[in-house]
Amino acid sequence: MNLKLIDYGLSSLWRRFWKRFTVILIFSLLVFLLVSIFSIATSLRQELGITLDALPELIVQKMSGGRQTVIPAERAYEIATIPGVSAAIPRVWGYYYFGSANVNFTIIGQDPDLDSYKAKYSKLFELNAPLIDTLTRPFFLAGQGVVDIMDEYYFKDEFFFITSKGEILNLVLAGTFVDESSLETNDVIIMPEILARELFDIYEDDATDIVVRVPNPAEIEIVKQKIQFLYPDCRIIGKDQIDTSYQNIFDYKSGLFLALLIPAFMAFFTMIYDKASGLSLEEKREIGIMKAVGWRVEDVLFLKLLESGFVSLFSFFNGVAFSFFFVYILNAPLLRNLFIGAGNLKPAFQLIPVIDIHILSLSFMAIVPVYILATIIPAWKTAIIDADEVMR
């Protein structure tokens, strides 16, 4: 390879930098969009991965007429006797709709004296123990997002829940919590189980569902079958099923976005083609002189394609750098709503930085071949210009 040729290519590119400016700008913008979308999706998936790790291996729900209903809590004892199960814990939880702000809180009932299915929740009670006075005042703990919303409606230290029976349940806000993955805890309220039962009108013998811990991954499938055999009316959801459906959703969304970008790629292709075809008189004369001093068609072609190689690399890195800034420093305003919905309570989390070769290769494969192919024909047209044609 001829180093002089590369040097010449770079300098000629530099001389006409402003002429290429629009191309570089649009190219970078497309790369920016692609990398941002893929990064947000990967980052969210990572975040959900953290949530998933804490999740129990199996969740048992009782079904009635295709709908989920409360499950008898005693079934947990039966399930716990299945070999391979380390724990089966009935849960009481649900969603509470707060009409004024049009949001749903996730309410989790947890007995402060018992170990939770999530070690984190038990710890929360310990942390806030000094503030909690179980005997005199009923209380609850809330995630940061919930506290913010309540603040907006002037509920400072207490909140009035309306139970299923229509009665008012006045609880004291005893503490808040944050987490590494705020997606998980932002909308969560934790209260003593007995209060949650009162709120949702769930009798003492019932539970919302039963979570089952199976430490050995190889045994999960068998345990699942055994539970299904024991309770044919139950639906059993595995952790891996949830994982796959998350993956599907994010892949589907970024795929859809990419599909919508295809017309933009076509427009980009046309623009590049047009831009590269229109040579100025000066450029034509330059090619003519090169031809006259002995450049062959191959040489000019190589030079032109070298130029587009430089342009695409430059724009690609430009776009990637800007997109990382946008996603991880500015936290991807607007674009992230595409993935999580613009609900009132869901946002307000920091995206976890993931720099993934996969994202880069996806974006690279999506756009760079489009650009290079679009420049081939114009480059050839330039290269076959005859010396005498332009010098005359």
Partner 1 sequence: MSILLSPEIIIIFIEDVLLLGFNSLAVFLAYGIQQRFDLNQTTALQYRLERQTYLVSTIIRFSLFIKIFSFAFFIFTLDKLSNFIPGAMCGVGVTNASPYGLYVLLIKLFSIYLYGFWLLIDREDQKTENYNYTVKKFRYFIAIYLFFLIELSLQYLYLSDINPEEIVSCCGTVFNAANTSFTGQLLKIPNGIVLPSFYAIFVLLIWTSLRRDVIWTGILNLFFLAFGLLAMISFFSTYIYELPSHQCPFCLLQSDYFYVGYLIYALLLSGTFFGVAALFLKLFYGIQLKVLKLSILFNLAFVILVSAYPLFYYIRNGVWL
Binding site residues, partner 1, CB under 8 A: 38, 244, 247-248, 251-252, 254-256, 258-259, 262, 265, 297-298, 301, 305, 358, 361-362, 365-366, 369-370, 372-373, 376-377, 379-380, 383-384
Nearer residue to partner 1 within complex by CB, 54 or 258 = 258
Which of 126-157 are b and which e, b meaning 16 or more Cβ less than 10 Å from the residue's Cβ? eebeeebeeeeebbbbbbbbbbebbeeeebee
- Residue closest to 307 by CA, chosen among 3, 6, 1: 6
Phi, psi torsion values for 216, nearest 5 degrees:
-95, 115
Give the DSSP H or E segment for 207.
Answer: strand 206-207
Q: 135 vs 259, which CB is nearer to partner 1? A: 259
Of 169 and 261, CB closest to partner 1 = 261
Output the smallest distance, CB 364 to partner 1, in A: 9
Least Å distance, CB 372 to partner 1, is 6
Q: Which is nearer to partner 1, 254 or 315 (CB)?
A: 254
Identify which of residues 21 and 317 has a Cβ nearer to partner 1 in the complex: 317
Please, what is the minimum distance in Å from the beta carbon of residue 158 to partner 1? 46
CB of 100 to partner 1, least distance (A): 37
Quote the least distance from Cβ 256 to partner 1, whole Å: 6
Angle at the Cα of 8 (from 29 to 31), degrees rounded to 5? 10
Return the closest-CA partner of residue 145 out of 281, 329, 391, 349: 349
Query: What's the DSSP call for residue 325?
Result: I
36 close to 327: Cβ distance less than 8 angstroms: yes
The separation between CA 156 and the C-alpha centre of its own chain, rounded to angstroms, equals: 32
Find the shortest distance in angstroms from Cβ 216 to partner 1.
18
CB closer to partner 1, 37 vs 108? 37
| Among 101, 106, 114, 102, CA closest to 142 | 106
Q: How far is the CB of 380 from partner 1 (least distance, A)?
A: 4
Pairing of strands 188-191, 103-109: parallel
Please state, in angstroms and rounded to a whole number, the distance separating the CA atoms of residues 69 and 190.
Answer: 21
- Is the CB of 91 or the CB of 304 nearer to partner 1? 304
Query: Based on CB atoms, which residue is closest to partner 1, 71 or 383?
Result: 383
d(CA 233, CA 235): 7
CB of 226 to partner 1, least distance (A): 20
**Calpha distance 299→292 (Å, rounded):** 13
CA distance 72 to 90: 9
d(CA 32, CA 34): 6
